[in-house]
């Protein structure tokens, strides 16, 4: 659903990147609380696909403009097309985008500056890391309009304990940023004035590590999580063996032995 306050497709998602390989994506439809409309999902997918092809990419920071980070799906848009085939296509599109975040070879850091609900909460849960202002609130409150947040439940229960996630899903209740941190949904909570500094601290910490090791580690982390413990150990062992054959690991281990700072190409 569009209105006079809706940015055009080109401005709906702002995409910037710098010479360090840091990509910054900004949801830029504050008038709709940055809902995941079809157009927004398309813009996010296009950006993620481009970053996946960028061999110089190192980190993605996903933020938003306005008071809300993301208020979930655009309900007006959904209500306008009450057809099963449309809803199936919409949720498949959203799932593809969410999985795109996980499949990126670089970490994605959510920069949460405000209200986060339903599929917006899903978006935060899907990111690898998250930093939030202390005034933000989080909820999966689709149940309030008769719609159980099924797809948001997938990454949510992979971030926090099952009963904590289920309580949010069944009651539609919101939690504070401090509660989100204690439950594992976000990594850091800070005052609004410190948000960018906290995000940058995580970015700098990642940039200080070799890209190849980060790439291998992120892929392994999510693959092994879905496996039984024996298969997970087998995959992890193979990943570490391949990682040790990489030049960056050989240099890092040698530097440790020689008590010096490693010299990495990336």
Q: What is the pLDDT of residues 106-123, one digit of tens each?
A: 999 999 999 999 999 999
Of 170, 183, 201, the residue nearest 124 (C-alpha): 183
Report the percentage of the chain scoring pLDDT > 90: 81
Q: What is the pTM of this model?
A: 0.92
The model's pLDDT over 39-65, given as tens digits with 9 standing for 90+, comes to 999 999 999 999 999 999 999 999 999
User: Cα separation of 226 and 134, whole Å?
Assistant: 32
Residue 191 pLDDT more than 50?
Answer: yes
Q: What is the pLDDT of residue 255?
A: 83
Residue 260 phi, psi dihedral angles, 5° rounding: -140, 170
Confidence bin at 2 (pLDDT 50/70/90): very low
Confidence bin at 201 (pLDDT 50/70/90): very high
User: Cα separation of 73 and 39, whole Å?
Assistant: 11
């Amino acid at each position: 659903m569009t209105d006079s306050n809706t940015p055009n497709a080109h401005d709906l998602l702002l995409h910037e990147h710098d010479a360090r390989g840091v990509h910054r994506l900004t949801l830029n439809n504050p008038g709709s609380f940055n809902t995941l409309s079809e157009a927004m999902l398309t813009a996010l997918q296009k950006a993620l696909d481009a970053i996946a092809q960028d061999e110089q990419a190192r980190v993605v920071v996903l933020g938003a403009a306005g008071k809300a980070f993301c208020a979930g799906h655009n309900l007006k848009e959904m209500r306008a097309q009450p057809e099963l085939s449309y809803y199936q296509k919409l949720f498949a599109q959203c799932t593809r985008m969410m999985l795109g975040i996980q499949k990126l070879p670089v970490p994605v850091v959510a920069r949460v500056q405000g209200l986060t609900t339903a599929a917006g909460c899903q978006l935060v849960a899907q990111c690898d890391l998250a930093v939030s202002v202390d005034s933000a609130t989080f909820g999966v409150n689709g149940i309030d309009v008769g719609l159980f947040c099924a797809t948001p439940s997938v990454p949510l229960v992979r971030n926090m304990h099952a009963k904590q996630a289920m309580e949010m899903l069944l009651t539609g209740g919101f939690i504070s940023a401090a509660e989100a941190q204690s439950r594992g949904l976000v990594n850091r909570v800070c005052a609004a004035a410190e948000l960018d500094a906290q995000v940058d601290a995580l970015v700098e910490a990642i940039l200080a590590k070799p890209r190849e090791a980060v790439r291998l580690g992120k892929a392994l982390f999510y693959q092994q999580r879905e496996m039984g413990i024996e298969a997970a150990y087998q995959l992890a062992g193979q990943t570490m063996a391949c990682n040790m054959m990489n030049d960056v690991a050989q240099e890092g281990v040698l530097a440790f032995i020689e008590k010096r700072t490693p010299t990495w190409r990336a």
